[in-house]
Amino acid sequence: MRWEKAMLVYNSKAGKEKAGQLGAAVEALAGEIGELTLVQTQNPGDGETVCRERGGEFDLVLLLGGDGTVHECINGAAEADRVPDIAILPGGTCNDFARTLRLPLQVGRAAEEVLEGRLLDTDVGTVNGRIFTNFVGIGLITDTSENIDSDQKERMGKLSYFLSTLRTLRQAEPFRFRLTHDEGVVDSEAVMILAANGRSLGTAKLPFPGDGVHDGQLDVLIVREAGLSLAWQVINGGDLTDYRESGGVIEYIRTSSLRIETDEPKRIDADGEIYLETPADISVLTSRMRFFYGPESAGIAGGLIGGAAAKADAPER
């Protein structure tokens, strides 16, 4: 038996395929788990509460859902008495952090990869005391999230994010900001600021160096109004070196921490969830949590933990 006790948290409202996904996950994992507890969340905050209050009881916590479910549950698990190992079973629309972990995007296959034991200490970020796994942004990126039509998202999936971006681009307005980072201060105007820990945004692969979640750094893009079209190309898989020829309309910074102040409070998008405002104090929590990775991650960062064998000797955190 690989794990004595595990908890699987899933969002009852996250799509019509949930019952089939849940069945696929249980079928793949049941033979290796002594006692499997299923928790169906009903309301916002349920996942965070159960992971904070009960996460320490389990060797393994599995999160079945999208980036919102992951964001909520990670904020609970990080505060548990003993931080459990985390396995993400991607059941959302974009599944951006699952992409960073190089997991298969089919729930059954992702569950099978958990059995391979590719467990790795992983950086997460914090913004105003809240954990994020993938990114924090203000300006255009927040407006795009807020402009997504929920019915359209249900019908069209990730295409709804593309349509929302097109609508938002036409309405983008610059804002004044002051950004303090490890090596200096930027005092200027922008239409968007993005600080990324992960390597995927809206299913697009971000063109930053390395894998992002093992370097103790955040990759920061400051996009000024004239740089919108170039930023769109970069974020959707373009060459990041293009920013060097942009005449300053895009600025790229790597830093372990930053503070963003704005003339007027701006809403913050953290992993697609919008409930914070500037000023924003953002930093990396190096190797803060342990996640299971997909098959393309073998040897990544030289730090894969040997699955169940390593679990027995792992210190409580």
Question: Would you please indicate which residues are annotated as catalytic (active-site) residues?
Answer: 273
Start-to-end Cα distance in the chain? 23
Q: CA–CA separation, 13 vs 18, rounded Å?
A: 8
Cα dihedral 149→155→158→163 (10° resolution): -50
Q: Is residue 51 within a helix (H) or strand (E), and if so which, with residue range?
A: helix 46-54
Q: What are 306's strand-pairing partners? A: 118
Tell whether the torsion through CA atoms of 127, 130, 135 and 139 is positive or negative.
negative
CA distances from 11 to 112, 156, 201, 262 (A): 20, 19, 21, 35
Measuring CA to CA, which residue among 279, 275, 274, 305 is closest to residue 292?
305
Amino acid at 132: F
Q: Phi, psi (5° rounding) for residue 249?
A: -75, -20
d(CA 249, CA 281): 24
**Helix and strand element counts for the chain (H, E):** 10, 19
| Pick from 104, 126, 255, 118: nearest CA to 179 | 255
Contacts of 21 by beta carbon, 8 Å cutoff, 6+ apart: 10, 64, 89, 91, 107, 108
Copy the structure tokens of residue 271: 């992993």
